[in-house]
Amino acid sequence: MSIPTPDEYFDRIHRVISVLDDENIKIINTMKKNGPRNLQDVSRKSGVPYPTVYTRVNKLETQGLLRTWVYPNFSRIGLSRAMVLLTTSPGRELLARDALKVPGYWLRITRCTGDCNGYYSLHAVPANNKQDFEQYVDQIVSSGLASDSRILWLDEYTSNIPNFEHFDLKNGTWKFSWASWLKALTPTQKPRKKAPANAEGQANYDKNDLLILKELMKDARKKLSEFAKLIGVTLPAAKYRFDNLLRRGLVQDYVIDILPYPPEISDLYEMRLDFRDEETLLAEEKVLQRLPFILGCSKIRGTNAASVRVFLPRGELNNLLTLLSALVRRKILDRFSYLVFDFMTIEAQTFSYEHYANGSGWHYDNHANLAGLRKLASSLDKQDHTVSFTGGAASSSVHYFY
């Protein structure tokens, strides 16, 4: 395993903090508000000269400190998002991980500890096959690869950028105002009434739309000429396709992926917050989005709970747990729980566009999936038991939002 020297360690910490100057913060805020594709538009709306915007964005991307990509509206393309928490059986951890990949509709898999000791995975499965997917996950447990499993069906994901109001530009430090955040999360007025539900339902799309969408999920700033070459159309036709994706609501969110704190001194969490009722959840949602350590959140369907992605300096975890405990005592929350992710085991991919065909839609073969699971489980005694270890420090270019 590669261990950084003290000089390398502190250099990486300084490199993350040093990029957070006034101009970069203006650029990042503008990209989140107006989209990252048109840097001339970013320049105009941020007030930062275009050559400076171009140079700074390219430098941040080259250094692996900034990534921009699209989060699709999965319900509009006929997919439902599921979070799976799998408690693995001792000695069968790697087979359990592989079992989560067999159906092919996974987005992210990582080892976790805390409320679940095993694997966290995120999936986008055909909405018509939710019951089949639940049956498959149950069979992972029945096969002996895991001792327990839970599936949470999620609404669409909303991402945040760090709230730079809490960053001291002069000193290059973040201000963690836990007392004021507790006050903000303790409303003095009655929670607002339930907001009207967003319009749901599938949009019209085809395989070429999905090809563009999956490329945007890798890089939101991918050029239109590359889309034209990918699907074999002219540049104006590619632009029309791209504009239509936006008009039809297939793009849920632009993710501006920049780390506010160095990964060497921070941890990545998934927290479940169960609010006392839906009105309280809705009232607190905007407050949560203003906290500098919240990367994003999704409502958990059929509950008054939200699944919240948190990236936080390690020394601040106890303060966060103190805040959440206080919210339980004040009856804002009923309960909370959390997972700690292992940076080094994060695997991510785009949605499984390859299983879609024009005319027939999404293909999901549960019989083939279950057969693949049985074959995987039966291979346990045939393995050569070779042991391999991961190496190196956590990379700052990891996909934290999938």
Locate the DSSP E strands across 23-137: 66-72, 79-88, 106-114, 118-126
How many residues comprise the chain? 402
Two structure tokens written together for 89: 């059986």
Identical fold between 6-67 and 207-248: yes
Pairing mode, if any, of strands 118-126 and 106-114? antiparallel
What are the pLDDT digits (tens) for 28-82?
999 999 999 999 999 999 999 999 999 999 998 888 888 999 999 999 999 999 9
State the architecture of 74-155+352-382 in CATH terms.
Answer: 2-Layer Sandwich (3.30)
395-to-25, 70, 114, 146, 257 alpha-carbon distances in Å: 22, 21, 23, 29, 13
Distance (Å, whole) CA 164 – CA 260:
9
pLDDT value of position 402: 46
**Of 127, 116, 118, 117, nearest in space to 153 by CA:** 127
pLDDT, position 173:
86
Report, as ranges of residue numbers, the positions in the chain whose pLDDT lies below 50.
Answer: 1-2, 9, 393-398, 400-402
What the block records as the tokens of 288 is: 């949560």
Paired residues of 86 in beta bridges: 119, 149
The domain limits of the chain are: 6-67, 74-155+352-382, 207-248
Q: Tell me the CATH class for 207-248.
A: mainly alpha
pLDDT for 11 equals: 58
Q: Say which CATH architecture domain 6-67 belongs to.
A: Orthogonal Bundle (1.10)
Q: How far apart are CA 97 and CA 146, in angstroms?
A: 10
* Rg value, the chain, Cα: 22
Quick one: which H or E segment has residue 141? helix 130-142
What letters, b where the CB count within 10 A reaches 16 and e where it falls short, cover 26-37?
A: bbbbbbbeebbb
State the pLDDT at residue 395: 44
Phi then psi for residue 383, to 5 deg, are -70, 155
Asked if 174 contacts 166 with a C-beta cutoff of 8 angstroms, the reply is yes
SS3 291: coil
Q: Looking at residue 15, what is its pLDDT?
A: 64
For residue 7, give the 3-state DSSP assignment: helix
The sign of the CA dihedral 213, 257, 348, 151 is negative
* 102/120 Cα distance (integer angstroms): 15
Which DSSP category does 199 fall into?
A: P
Residue type, 223: K
